[in-house]
């Protein structure tokens, strides 16, 4: 990938664009242009809703025009088989307002959520949005109309991070609202009790949903790169303040963070939940390629 192509996905570059629609379009068009260039010779976008014939498929569903064009057997899938209902669940609690590099976790999460919604609706799947702190702030049920994107973007642009985090409780509440199986995409820093988070995620799986977790952390939260005595303050609980020398605690801190991440990754894997850790400096294409790989 060239430096020009990387600029499609650089969070700092994207942050300078004027609105979420432009950011989402910039990311998705960058992804899709790369995919189109890398397609096998002879394939085109018109066959996105086809799959290769497998033994046991009904012969009457073979697309004979595709056979004549590619000399291979393809089954054309129906809308019910290809359509997906995706719930994009974005953490908008106060802890998401942290940044050490000019892009907050919430800003990154908004761009990622908007890009996923844009991509999902472009694929004629249904996208919906949930934002939450210690309560559900907005709940927009999935729809498959492309014009629905503006409603989702409006909800994202009208929300700023605030309130305490209660991820597990919120996931349980949302699971109770979802009546039809689909895809649940959680975008959060997951700074809460891990067992409660995992309990909520497993409830989605128990109800037959697929689940993807994008775990967002700032690079400074992962590395603790500071020097000198630093006053650390809990964004969600301003009365909690601690002065510490990062150099003295860095090794232990990094070990604790690594254990936290590995525990979440292991538990997600054991329950067939896709888990991906992203720092706010990670190019956006990493997350979208992960989604596209799952969708494929």
Q: How far apart are the C-alpha atoms of 138 and 90, rounded to whole Å? A: 10
pLDDT, tens digit, 9 for 90 and up, residues 147-173:
899 999 999 998 899 999 899 999 999
What 8-state DSSP symbol labels residue 282?
Answer: S
Q: So where are the chain's domains? A: 41-81, 83-295
DSSP per residue, 2-47: -HHHHTTT-HHHHHTSSSHHHHHHHHHHHHHHHHHHHSPTT--GGG
- Say which CATH topology domain 83-295 has: Rossmann fold (3.40.50)
pTM of the model: 0.81
| Percent of the chain whose pLDDT exceeds 70 | 80
CA 40 to chain centre: 27
Give Dmax over CA atoms of the chain in angstroms. Answer: 73
pLDDT tens for 21-67 read 999 998 888 887 655 444 443 333 344 456 666 666 666 677 777 66
What's the rounded mean pLDDT across residues 67-96?
A: 76
Name the H helices within 7-148: 11-15, 20-38, 64-70, 79-82, 105-122
Q: How many helices (H) and strands (E) does the chain have?
A: 12, 10
What's CA 73's distance to the chain center, in Å? 34
Of 73 and 108, more confident: 108
How distant, in Å, are the alpha carbons of 14, 39, 236, 293 from that of 281? 11, 28, 23, 21
Q: How many CB atoms lie within 10 A of CB 213?
A: 23
């Amino acid at each position: 990938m060239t430096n020009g192509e990387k600029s499609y996905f650089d969070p700092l570059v994207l942050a300078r664009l004027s609105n979420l629609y432009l950011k989402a379009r910039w990311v998705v068009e960058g992804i899709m242009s790369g995919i189109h260039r890398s397609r096998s010779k002879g394939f085109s976008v018109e066959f996105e809703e086809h799959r290769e014939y497998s033994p046991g498929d009904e012969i009457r569903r073979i697309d004979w025009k595709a056979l004549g064009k590619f000399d291979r057997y393809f089954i054309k899938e129906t809308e019910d088989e290809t359509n997906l209902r995706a719930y994009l669940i974005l953490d908008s609690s106060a802890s998401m307002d942290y940044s050490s590099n000019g892009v907050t976790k919430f800003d990154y999460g908004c761009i990622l959520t908007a890009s996923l919604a844009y991509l999902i609706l472009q694929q004629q799947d249904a996208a919906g949005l949930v934002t939450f702190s210690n309560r559900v702030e907005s709940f927009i049920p999935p729809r498959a109309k492309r014009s629905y994107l503006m409603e989702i973007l409006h909800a994202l642009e009208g929300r700023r991070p605030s309130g305490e985090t209660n991820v597990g409780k919120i996931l349980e509440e949302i699971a109770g609202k979802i009546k039809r199986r689909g895809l649940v995409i959680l975008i959060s820093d997951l700074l809460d009790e891990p067992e409660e988070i995992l309990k909520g995620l497993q409830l989605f799986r128990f109800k037959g949903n697929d689940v993807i977790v994008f775990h967002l952390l700032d690079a400074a939260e992962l590395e603790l790169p500071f020097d000198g005595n630093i006053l650390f303050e809990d964004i969600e609980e301003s009365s909690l303040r601690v002065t510490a020398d990062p150099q003295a605690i860095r090794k232990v801190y990094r070990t604790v963070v690594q254990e936290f991440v590995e525990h979440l990754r292991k538990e997600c894997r054991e329950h067939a939940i896709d888990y991906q850790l992203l720092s706010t400096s990670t190019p956006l294409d990493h997350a979208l390629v992960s989604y596209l790989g799952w969708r494929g």
